[in-house]
Structure 1
Amino acid sequence: MSELVRFSVSLEADLLESFDQFCEQGRFATRSEAIRQLLREKLTTTAWAADAADVAASLTLVYDHHKTRLTDKMLDIQHAHGERVVATMHVHLDHDLCMEVIALRGPALDLQRLAADLSGLKGIHHAQLVVVRATDETANGHAHPHPHDHPHPH
């Protein structure tokens, strides 16, 4: 982990009040923890826009499993992108609705296209893609995993 650096930020009182409510609702231990998470999320979004080499994502879909051929189409798309689909979890929500959570990994734009292909199917009620960096490129100046011939302090 890199060295901790302190800095100050000036905010309007109402913005700080809203941020403190955000921190409380998110159960962050400190404002610093909340700011770190927000910065990581924004940096991930920036990396997404730059088509970061490797990101991980979860795609959550809620859909009507009675919709004709929808599950077949969903499976066809996932199989066509088998190198990007890491795992899936299927949950029965009620008589009509199911939730599919799909773990993905690969280039950001590939995952975005895959998510768009799935979320655009008729019968999908909700789709949400959450993207995170798949590697910590700031750790000791280089990404992991890789073969090690040199020790790291972690």
Structure 2
Amino acid sequence: MQRVTISLDESLAEAFDLVAAEQGYSSRSEAVRDLVRKAIAARRDQTDEGECVANLSYVYNHGVRSLAQRLTEISHAHHDLIIATVHIHLDHDHCLESTMLKGAKARVRALADAIRAERGVRFGDLNLIAIEPNAHGEALTHDHGHGEHNHLTPEPG
């Protein structure tokens, strides 16, 4: 571990100590380490290279003509990125969907953009977290085309 010394004026140090205490940090060092981790992750998340896990949450008006069908079609077209979706009825007209995603950052962002661009979708927000290959050098996610393998499909009838 390396030791780093920083200087803060008294008012900034007091404000930082209050925030650190409110968030439950046991020391300034742990709070600073967490800030550094967040800054590094935010910088890494800005590129479209690499893979990620993400959550896309959005509110939509299910009364908008064909919107629910279009959202379902978009989801099916990107089934390899979608891990799970939670659907919540907010009122008579609006639903909240929260979709867990995993895959190439560029593809995850493109899917989020496509959903948020649909007429009737409001308040869309993507929380993306870059991921690295595991200890064996294997990617945690994989992209695939449809010529490489078969999908399990329910039998008709």
- Alignment TM-score > 0.5, same fold: yes
Percent of residue pairs bearing the same amino acid type: 31
1:47 alignment partner, SS class: helix
Aligned letter for 2:39? K
Equivalence for 2:82: 85
Equivalence for 2:150: none
State the distance in 1 between where 2:22 and 2:67 align: 37
Q: CA deviation at 1:53?
A: 1.7
Aligned pair partner of 2:7 in 3, 10, 15? 10
2:50–2:131 CA contact under 8 A, matched in 1: no
User: Which has the higher Rg, Structure 1 or Structure 2?
Assistant: 2
Once the two structures are overlaid, the 10-residue window that deviates more, 109-118 or 22-31, is: 22-31
State the distance in 2 between where 1:32 and 1:144 align: 33
Equivalence for 1:65: 62
Q: CA deviation at 1:13?
A: 3.8
Q: CA deviation at 1:88?
A: 0.8
Q: CA deviation at 1:24?
A: 4.4
Once the two structures are superposed, residues 107-149 of structure 1 have per-residue CA deviations (whole angstroms, 9 ceiling, x without a partner) of 2121111111111111122111111133377x7xx75678xxx
State the distance in 1 between where 2:14 and 2:65 align: 49
Unaligned segments of structure 2, at least 5 residues: 141-157
With structure 2 as the length reference, what TM-score do the two structures score? 0.72
State the distance in 1 between where 2:117 and 2:34 align: 30
Equivalence for 1:149: none
Unaligned segments of structure 1, at least 5 residues: 147-154
1:59–1:129 CA contact under 8 A, matched in 2: yes
Note if 1:51 corresponds to 2:34. Answer: no
Tell me: CA distance 1:122–1:133, structure 2 relative to 1, closer, same or farther (3 Å): same
- Backbone CA RMSD of aligned residues: 2.7
Q: How many residues align?
A: 140
